[in-house]
Structure formats: structure tokens, C-alpha cells
Chain A
Amino acid sequence: EADIYQTPRYLVIGTGKKITLECSQTMGHDKMYWYQQDPGMELHLIHYSYGVNSTEKGDLSSESTVSRIRTEHFPLTLESARPSHTSQYLCASSLGGGLSGNTIYFGEGSWLTVV
């Protein structure tokens, strides 16, 4: 069982609202990730963190921002949501370093609908 948690699971909000998707892990993992996935489509990396105070953009351009102030917490924020942001957002983490550290553990995902 992976100890990584996302809230909310489902969210419907109006255009222009600010939202924050929360992600926490209790495994002490250094590396954390945010993926975006539309139904039936591939997972795309949108943000990545090597550790505290380290964040990078992923391969898929995203208007969201992230922060990593504590090891266990990696929230994602949309300052002004638009219908094009409607998607599933998946948070993940890995230990990093060595073979066993490459296994990625995912949260259950946050389904965002912007109306």
C-alpha cells in the first residue's frame, strides 16, 4: 500500500477560480511528481521535484504552479481555472537513488472539472 494522499478526489469549480490540489506522502520520498491525464490518454508529466525547494516543469506545458516547502507536501495550484484545465491530476513519489528507488507510487488522483 502506497502512503500518498490527494485531496480533493473530485472538484467542480467555475472559470476564473483559484484552486489548490493537495498531495502528501508519508514515505519520506525525496522525489515527487504531478501528472495530468485525460480519459483514455497517456500520462504526461507536468511538474517534478527532486526535494525541498526544488521544482521543475515537466514535458507537458501547464499553467499550474507547485511548491515543495516540506518533504511530504507537494501542492499544485491553478491561479485562474479554465475549462481547458479539466482533467485528472495524479500526484506520485519515489525514493530516488538506486534500483529500488525508481518505483513510483501514485495517489488516487484528483478529478478537476472547470465549468
Chain B
Amino acid sequence: DAKTTQPPSMDCAEGRAANLPCNHSTISGNEYVYWYRQIHSQGPQYIIHGLKNNETNEMASLIITEDRKSSTLILPHATLRDTAVYYCIAHAGNNRKLIWGLGTSLAVNP
């Protein structure tokens, strides 16, 4: 699976949009980009995934660049409950080989 690179930490003001970047320059054509988040002391939670097109669901939006070498997770109106570690993962479907990394620790401030 392709390696992903994320900033170790970010801050965001409550109510503002949180834009979390992820680089995956070696991603191959059959690899999807997945985002999960982990709130302190809990198991990771699935947020969204995509291949080429931008995706949106009730939690977030995923913007993938045309060359697919990077993506951005957008939380449109961040709340204090969005404070968590966010993981960006690129993989082709074999969950056994996932590389989780350290993710981005997002702090949403009042």
C-alpha cells in the first residue's frame, strides 16, 4: 500500500472549517484513499473514502487532486467533539497490509 504523509498536528477554531491534508504521491491506480479518526481512548471510526472523485457524506468532504497525489479531508463546521487523531490511508483492498501511521492530531479550540 502507498505511504501517506500527514502533518503531526493542527489547530482549528470551533465553528470553522478544518482542512486536513494528506500526501500520497506513490499511490497506484487501484488504491483508494480512506480517512478514519480516533477519539482519545476509543477505537478508530471510519469517516469517508474515495478513488478519484470528490466525495461528501454527513461527516465530511474528501477532495482528491486530479493527479491523485494528495487529498484533503474537510470538516465544514468543526466542533469540540471533532478533536481527534485523523488517519489517511491509501490501499487497494487488503486490510491486512494497512499502514496506519501516526495521523494528524486535530485540536478544535473554543
| Interface residues of A, count at CB 8 A | 26
B69-110 CB contacts (< 8 Å) to partner A = 91, 93, 95-96, 98, 100-102
List the one stretch of A11-19, A64-72, A73-81, A99-107 in contact with chain B.
Answer: A99-107
In the complex, whether B68 has a CB less than 8 A from a CB of chain A is: no
A33-B95, A99-B93 known; A106-B43 Cβ under 8 A: yes
Please tell me if the beta carbons of A107 and B95 are within 8 angstroms of each other in the complex: no
Please tell me if the beta carbons of A48 and B43 are within 8 angstroms of each other in the complex: no
Which residues of chain B come closer than 8 Å to A45, judged between CB atoms? 96, 98
A42-B102, A99-B32, A103-B49 known; A48-B44 Cβ under 8 A: no
A43-B44, A103-B46, A103-B49 known; A48-B32 Cβ under 8 A: no
Which residues of chain A come closer than 8 Å to B100, judged between CB atoms? 42-43
* A106 interface neighbour in B41, B45, B96, Cβ under 8 Å: B45
Which residues of chain B come closer than 8 Å to A91, judged between CB atoms? 43
Please tell me if the beta carbons of A102 and B102 are within 8 angstroms of each other in the complex: no
Please tell me if the beta carbons of A105 and B46 are within 8 angstroms of each other in the complex: yes
Which residues of chain B come closer than 8 Å to A107, judged between CB atoms? 43
A42-B100, A42-B102 known; A31-B45 Cβ under 8 A: no
Please tell me if the beta carbons of A48 and B96 are within 8 angstroms of each other in the complex: yes
Which residues of chain B come closer than 8 Å to A111, judged between CB atoms? 41
Which residues of chain B come closer than 8 Å to A109, judged between CB atoms? 41-43
In the complex, whether A112 has a CB less than 8 A from a CB of chain B is: no
Q: How far is the CB of A105 from chain B (nearest CB, A)?
A: 7
* B95 interface neighbour in A40, A94, A99, A108, Cβ under 8 Å: A94
Binary CB contact string for chain A from 76 to 96 against chain B (1 if under 8 A, 0 otherwise):
000000000000101110100
Given contacts A99-B32, A104-B98, 13 further A-B contacts (CB under 8 A): A2-B45, A33-B95, A41-B102, A42-B100, A42-B102, A43-B44, A91-B43, A102-B49, A102-B91, A102-B95, A103-B46, A103-B49, A109-B43
- Give the B-binding residues of A (Cβ under 8 A): 2, 31, 33, 40-43, 45, 48, 56, 58, 88, 90-92, 94, 99, 102-109, 111
